[in-house]
């Protein structure tokens, strides 16, 4: 059933400035990641999708970090996440690939999942071992990473060796994620904006569709999963509920909450201190589950 937006969310989604403003603000706050020495970047094509290839002397493990950027399915891109992904690749001893998947409002579901599937399928066609692939993502990109794995299972294709999800947005049905709503029960512009983003992405499809809100999918058979999120951030409940659901479905899951309210800490601060530690543990998890060289 198609969701009928509330009046504030409808007003937000209908403003011509919504997408440009969201993209500009997102880019401004997510470009602070420190550069990684020795990292090289080039744009490549995978299955008809433009991707950023992350390479360097650190990519000795023989595997692939396939990273889907966040941004509410509307903002973000290859450039906003390049340095953070490079650090993760260095920690995992792998090369990286950041797909520039299609975004809203120009394209709704299933365009992003179609692009993710095309990139993964193209990598396998070139000889990449799926067991040496870690599918990763932050926020909406975390939801997309999980949606990709659900489609792979549905199509009977080989799943990756690991899933690494940072503050994943996996429940697009529940929009009330702000701290104010948690304290008072009153919705805020953040809650209405999340509602607008969710409906723009889903378009005419039910928000409970498993590729839109993977939290409501049967997660049996998913790869080993590392989930990280702040203890007081907007996706804290999504991360907790996903970890619990995955465990109930028999998935090997590791949930690592970090203190504080910062959403996707490594990509919204310089990759140092806590952010560096989080990505470092992500790299360790990837090496462990994919058999990459230490």
Nearest to 92 by CA among 287, 288, 290, 291: 287
CA–CA distance, 43 with 97 (Å, rounded to integer) = 9
Q: Which of 139, 167, 178, 193 is catalytic?
A: 139
Tell me which residue of 207, 234, 196, 206 sits closest to 8, measured CA to CA: 196
Q: Is 158 in the active site?
A: no
**Residue closest to 70 by CA, chosen among 53, 85, 90, 56:** 85
Q: Which is the catalytic residue, given 33, 213, 233, 243?
A: 233
Q: What residues pair up with 163 in beta bridges, in sequence order?
A: 135, 225
139 tagged catalytic: yes
DSSP state of 49: E
The closest alpha carbon to 71, from 30, 108, 106, belongs to 30
Residues belonging to the active site: 139, 233, 263
């Amino acid at each position: 059933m198609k969701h009928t937006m509330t009046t504030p969310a409808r007003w937000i989604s209908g403003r011509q400035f919504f997408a440009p403003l969201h993209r500009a603000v997102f880019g401004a706050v997510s470009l602070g990641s420190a550069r990684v020495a020795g990292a090289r970047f080039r744009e490549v094509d995978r299955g008809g999708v433009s991707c950023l290839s992350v390479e360097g002397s650190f990519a000795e493990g023989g595997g692939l970090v396939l990273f889907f950027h966040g941004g509410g399915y509307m903002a973000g891109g290859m450039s906003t996440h390049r340095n953070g992904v490079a650090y993760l690749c260095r920690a995992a001893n792998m090369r990286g690939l950041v797909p520039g998947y299609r975004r809203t409002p120009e394209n709704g579901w299933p365009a992003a999942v179609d692009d993710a599937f095309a990139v993964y399928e193209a990598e396998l066609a070139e000889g990449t071992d799926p067991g040496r692939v870690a599918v990763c993502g932050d926020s909406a990109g975390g939801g997309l990473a999980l949606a990709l794995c659900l489609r792979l299972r549905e199509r009977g294709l080989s799943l990756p060796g690991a899933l690494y999800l940072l503050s994943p947005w996996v429940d697009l049905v529940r929009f009330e994620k702000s701290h104010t709503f948690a304290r008072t029960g009153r919705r805020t512009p953040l809650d209405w904006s999340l509602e607008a983003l969710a409906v723009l992405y889903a378009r005419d499809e039910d928000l409970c569709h498993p590729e839109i809100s993977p939290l409501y999918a049967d997660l049996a058979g998913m790869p080993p999963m590392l989930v990280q999120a702040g203890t007081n951030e907007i996706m804290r409940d999504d991360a907790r509920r996903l970890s619990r659901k995955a465990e109930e479905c028999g998935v090997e899951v590791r949930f690592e909450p970090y203190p504080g309210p910062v959403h996707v800490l490594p990509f919204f601060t310089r990759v140092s201190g806590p952010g560096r530690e989080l990505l470092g543990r992500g790299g360790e998890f990837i090496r462990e589950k994919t058999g990459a060289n230490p």
